[in-house]
Amino acid sequence: MAKAAVIQLVSQDVIEHNLTRVNYLLSQMSQDEVVSLVVLPENVAFMGANDQDKLKFAETFGAGPIQESLATMAKKYHCWIVAGTIPLRGVSPHHVRAASLVFDDNGECVARYDKIHLFDVRVSEEERHEESATIEPGHEVVVVDTPVGRLGLSVCYDLRFPELYRQLVLQGAELFAVPAAFTATTGLAHWEVLLRARAIENLCYVLAPNQAGIHPRGRHTYGHSMIIEPWGNILGRLDQGEGFLTAEIDLHRLQDQRRHFPCNDHHLLGHI
């Protein structure tokens, strides 16, 4: 069995600081454990005071200091890294893509998922979000083979759309990556129940690193990063602040569960 991990951060508006924190936590993890796959949270390298700030730091796919730094870490620590999301240049000069890149243990980018569902909501009278003002949505469902299993990629607000995860399972996903920056309000209400539901209804592992604290402009994220096994049991959980979780991924047990409880074979997609 291989091990997977999630890293929880409190990202700020200084890229060098955030990447230094990722490197530190990877170094701490590597002292005690051999981890094959690490998932980082949404907005891993930058959370600015203004939504427009990310446009200044957008990189071209395949080049740029954020991508180079994360690729170097993957090679240095001999692990695959799902790089949460980083801002990549979009079609419009006024928008970026919230891109989740997967680096293998040689530092090569082997997959890219652009966040499909954008967080355009009013959480309360005081809190409103409009990601579509600065982010272009992606359109492709992405699954990638990793050392711990076949991994379906998603990001944060995607979690509320079970049809995406069904498509990932239909493409062979055994695990889901759910890097997030869930707000404190929505996280308290829905984070755990949605994560466990996605695991249970698809019989998949869920690797869910969240942002976890106070960011520029007073934004407060929920934390409580989790790793969940296919029956919905939580294998590990963090509260607030920075840290990491690890867990063994047992694909033989997953396949046994799917044989004994074949709900993925009973779906009605294509028959309605």
* Residue 109 bears catalytic tag: no
Closest CA to 10 of 239, 246, 245: 239
Length of the chain: 272
Closest CA to 165 of 47, 264, 262, 35: 264
Catalytic residue among 42, 131, 174, 229: 42
**What is the pTM (predicted TM-score) of this model?**
0.95
Provide the residue-wise pLDDT of the chain in tens; the chain has 272 residues: 899 999 999 999 999 999 999 999 999 999 989 999 999 999 999 998 778 888 999 999 999 999 999 999 999 999 999 999 999 999 999 999 999 999 999 999 999 999 999 987 777 777 777 888 999 999 999 999 999 999 999 999 999 999 999 999 999 999 999 999 999 999 999 999 999 999 999 999 999 999 999 998 888 999 999 999 999 999 999 999 999 999 999 999 999 999 998 888 887 555 54
Q: What angle do CA 25, 30, 33 make, to 5 degrees?
A: 120
Q: Where are the domains of the chain?
A: 2-265
Catalytic residue among 3, 115, 136, 174: 115
Give the list of residues 6+ apart from residue 170 with CB closer than 8 angstroms, or none.
269
pLDDT value for 268: 58
* Residue 263 bears catalytic tag: no
Q: Structurally, what CATH architecture does the domain formed by 2-265 represent?
A: 4-Layer Sandwich (3.60)
* Residue 156 bears catalytic tag: yes
pLDDT value for 121: 77
E strands within 117-182? 120-122, 128-130, 135-136, 143-146, 149-153, 175-177
CB 87 within 8 A of CB 37: no
Structure tokens at 145: 């083979």
Closest CA to 67 of 27, 113, 96, 102: 102
pLDDT value for 18: 98
Catalytic residue among 59, 156, 174, 204: 156
pLDDT value for 117: 96
